[in-house]
A and B are shown apart, each in its own frame.
Chain A
Amino acid sequence: SQKIEQNSEALNIQEGKTATLTCNYTNYSPAYLQWYRQDPGRGPVFLLLIRENEKEKRKERLKVTFDTTLKQSLFHITASQPADSATYLCALDSLYGGSQGNLIFGKGTKLSVKP
């Protein structure tokens, strides 16, 4: 079955720098990969979705890449701000061909942006 690894439990960076978070998967390449943000005491909030045939997706200061050869997605926040501090989760489908809904989530990377 598919497994996800977000290889940094925590990432501390200085305000203004670019944060780069990594999501690796172990098996087949999913058709879609999603990124979410979760603040303490709240449910995750959807940020971006990238398709298998898209190498890169941008939204304001966010950029996601998807490398099916490396089985990896990178999530970048440019010009980071303390308000970007949160846990970031990647998610993808758990079964080849789609399971009609069973997204599996990584454990997340806790980002702290220091002023």
Chain B
Amino acid sequence: GAGVSQSPSNKVTEKGKDVELRCDPISGHTALYWYRQSLGQGLEFLIYFQGNSAPDKSGLPSDRFSAERTGGSVSTLTIQRTQQEDSAVYLCASSLAGGEANERFFGPGTRLTVL
């Protein structure tokens, strides 16, 4: 079956602009996660959705970042007033259920470049 998909694969934007990144998780997966990966750095947790529960937003670096998940499926990560330090690969993952025991299925990522 289809894996996790993300769009766009690459996004170049100017400083100060808003961007939206999309994630389509694997059908039936109730948990969805956003991470970002900067060059030479590990994966940085951003936000986690589990079913109908309130999302865990503890990893969002600033209030310029927000995410929503509509209908328990597709998720959009929005970055407002982008800054150069926002440049990174943004990875989405889903899992059958939440919790540390469940493997994450990652998408290919969106490479964001802020000029």
Q: Which residues of A contact B (CB under 8 A)?
A: 4, 30-32, 34, 36, 41-46, 49, 51, 89, 91-94, 98-108
Contacts and interface: CB of A to CB of B under 8 A. Distances in A.
B33 A101 contact: yes
Interface of B: 4, 31, 33, 35, 40-43, 45, 48, 50, 56, 58-59, 91, 93, 98-101, 103-109
Nearest to B109: A43
A46 B103 contact: yes
Given A30-B100, A34-B103, A46-B103, A102 B45 contact: yes
A31 B108 contact: no
A100 B54 CA distance: 12
A72 B1 CA distance: 35
Given A41-B108, A46-B104, A108-B42, 10 more contacts: A30-B100, A43-B4, A43-B93, A43-B106, A43-B109, A100-B98, A101-B48, A103-B33, A105-B43, A107-B41
Given A42-B108, A43-B4, A100-B50, A105 B42 contact: yes
Contacts of B108: 41-43
